[in-house]
Structure 1
């Protein structure tokens, strides 16, 4: 790993893929993210397996997962201000170090207090909250940082590369996580997760870029006033961009309808497809593969003018149709095909939505814009999970009905949103920020 970093520092370009070059700064950022994503999968699997084996409580598992999501809702707007006020590189390093230290402490405690179930459960809850808070500050910073490190014409392919490798690490992590848990146990798996965050922070520390000057403010009262003013400036900027907020809500609302599907997918496998549990992994993997292809197809599309509008709306209609087919079939093969198409359409849509906000927001506002997008998206996810769980309880986990309702909901949302003139105007008439110099 250190040899790779040293080599990266010695050359201007270190990786060639699909006709574009990743510069050394993007490579260092990507390399760190790749390793920490694998570690994140290790933490999730260690937590879920340990809680399942030692408590047997699905409610406790869902509660701790919710605790990891809520900080993005609570701290999202503040995190955006921080990402615009301070060095984004430093934010990434600090949050990675905090996550590494918290997971390391958890690993040590499990080694020493393994028999104390209550203490370990409380530690998992605490670490999940700490990781959630760290991610709340990390994600807007990295989303705002990427456009600062790459030229505008390469942004779409760079984001596609980041997103697709994230999907790959998810597949690998899910495939290997259970095996490593059985072979190594929770403490060692958590230790590997902690090490991954430290390596990520180390890799990010070598990134070199032209950082803007940040004004220094003394006094707690003055800092609070400045934070508040910056937050209001960010909200005013979003409000001044006609159609931006509506576009954010549309993009984030997809999570609301996806949440019940992902929550009840195990019941779909065993109750509707009448297959064994390993098919759950197959379906997740094929959806991730579809997303990877979708990211790269989306990156190659010329989306100027009305074409972006067509691509985004048609991809959501395709997602709705494939989800409807998925909801009604009892054939495992058709389920695989339909979920692959669902992942493909989501990949196309997500890349267009992400780069839309990254490209067309000035760097001094980008952290706040991306954090607002994260806040809306994160806020709708728990709501979708709760409603999905409630519908499952009422209908005896009737996935055919619930998934079809989600499909219809996405179609109705897409059609009604397409009639919004402000949103169409934002998609069609957006003005790209002048590209940075290479």
Structure 2
């Protein structure tokens, strides 16, 4: 795997792009903290961007499966680079409208870029390397997140916020340049002129035929319940503790723990079934959510984010590997777009709920509500999964007897 130049191009590109992404996110949080006093209004602004991504999801899936994945990555990269212009306008005119335009454009670009990227990974590495590649890719993404948030915090102290977006745009230009260097064999069905794939209606039967992929998809609800309100919770914890520096520490604690988890999970996947591991780490994520009840204590908030980071660092490489191995490659574009849309819809619901709860009942009671929902979901999904498994084994045994 490490002798494959495409792997290095992808990982270096992810590192650079991640730096740009998180410089922009830190800038967005600072901008909203300055001009948007309500947590609910902050969530509404983020919601509009996610909604745009959901709207183009079906189109993105068809395009990725019908045309060159490399070209999709390039055009999405161009769109992402140009979208930063709106933030320069937002800063110049102190305009929330221009910020919303930025969020919409960058999320539309992401709706094409990330499913295409997930579809490319099975084309450049062998199946035996999937979980290692997914883990390394997510670790590189996490390193860029930790470095990007740290660099963003430093730049905010010594420079104007506009420099964050200058750095962000430069990073996007660099990832666009590295994308041109990718070289891999596209599937034949992508090259057929005039042959276009169907929509998401073809994905539902595929998921029904692969119950393990369906369960893995459903279980992503648990980490999304935490991730959907991640940035708003970080801002709220910072305000509660009266410490601006805690934002960077929380991102760092979660990021380092994520990397440890992604490294650790490769060592245990051959010992326990992947789907069982997903249930275990879903439970740990639920516990981390509940433990944020003590987030007014600095060390406890860091521990909670650390536990969460470790659990999702184990969870997501397993989920990605299940999807890449169990879903036929010819459906990858539509499936990963479908998953992207599914995640975004959940993100929107969680994001709006987080903003509303923070404004009404506060962080302490909100995490109790979300934590209990997570635990109940893990229990219900677990009972259903293992009941189906038991019935299947019973049928198999009866067939053997007959």
TM-score normalised according to structure 2 size? 0.87
Q: Distance in 2 between matches of 1:330 and 1:250?
A: 29
Q: Distance in 2 between matches of 1:248 and 1:203?
A: 31
Q: Is the 8 A contact 1:78 1:231 kept in 2?
A: no
Matched, 1:414 2:375: no
Q: Is the 8 A contact 1:256 1:383 kept in 2?
A: no
In structure 2, the CA distance between the partners of 1:270 and 1:290, relative to structure 1 (3 Å rule), is: same
Superposed CA RMSD in Å reads 2.8
In structure 2, the CA distance between the partners of 1:160 and 1:376, relative to structure 1 (3 Å rule), is: same
Matched, 1:250 2:219: yes
Q: Distance in 1 between matches of 2:103 and 2:296?
A: 37
Q: Is the 8 A contact 2:57 2:341 kept in 1?
A: yes
Matched, 1:234 2:203: yes
Matched, 1:34 2:11: no
Could you list the runs of 5+ residues in structure 2 that have no partner in the other structure? 394-402
Determine the structure 2 residue equivalent to 1:25. Answer: 6
Q: Distance in 2 between matches of 1:425 and 1:364?
A: 28
Kindly report which structure 2 residues correspond to 1:309-388, keeping only aligned pairs within 5 A, or say none: 309-328=275-294, 331-388=297-354
Q: Distance in 1 between matches of 2:73 and 2:299?
A: 42
In structure 2, the CA distance between the partners of 1:141 and 1:242, relative to structure 1 (3 Å rule), is: same
Kindly report which structure 2 residues correspond to 1:83-162, keeping only aligned pairs within 5 A, or say none: 83-104=64-85, 107=88, 109=89, 114=92, 116-118=93-95, 121-162=96-137
* 1:264 shift after superposition: 3.1
Determine the structure 1 residue equivalent to 2:245. Answer: 278
* 1:400 shift after superposition: 2.7
Q: Is the 8 A contact 2:210 2:326 kept in 1?
A: no
Q: Is the 8 A contact 1:243 1:424 kept in 2?
A: no
Could you list the runs of 5+ residues in structure 1 that have no partner in the other structure? 1-19, 218-222, 430-438
SS of residue matched to 1:421: helix
1:267 equivalent among 213, 232, 236: 236
Q: Is the 8 A contact 2:261 2:310 kept in 1?
A: yes
Q: Is the 8 A contact 1:238 1:369 kept in 2?
A: no
Determine the structure 2 residue equivalent to 1:165. Answer: 140
Q: Distance in 2 between matches of 1:392 and 1:191?
A: 32
In structure 2, the CA distance between the partners of 1:192 and 1:104, relative to structure 1 (3 Å rule), is: farther
* 1:182 shift after superposition: 4.7
Q: Which moved more, 1:76-85 or 1:285-294?
A: 76-85
Residues 379-435 of structure 1, C-alpha deviation per residue, up to 9 Å, x if partnerless? 01111122222223332x1x3322122222211111111112389659x99xxxxxx
Q: Distance in 1 between matches of 2:279 and 2:35?
A: 46
Q: Is the 8 A contact 1:35 1:199 kept in 2?
A: yes
Matched, 1:216 2:185: no
In structure 2, the CA distance between the partners of 1:317 and 1:380, relative to structure 1 (3 Å rule), is: same
Q: Distance in 2 between matches of 1:383 and 1:252?
A: 11
In structure 2, the CA distance between the partners of 1:313 and 1:190, relative to structure 1 (3 Å rule), is: same
Q: Which moved more, 1:201-210 or 1:68-77?
A: 68-77
Q: Is the 8 A contact 1:242 1:422 kept in 2?
A: no
Q: Distance in 2 between matches of 1:89 and 1:103?
A: 22
Q: Distance in 1 between matches of 2:74 and 2:387?
A: 36
TM-score normalised according to structure 1 size? 0.80
* 1:55 shift after superposition: 6.2
In structure 2, the CA distance between the partners of 1:261 and 1:404, relative to structure 1 (3 Å rule), is: farther
Q: Distance in 2 between matches of 1:62 and 1:405?
A: 18
SS of residue matched to 1:300: coil
* 1:145 shift after superposition: 0.7
* 1:146 shift after superposition: 0.8
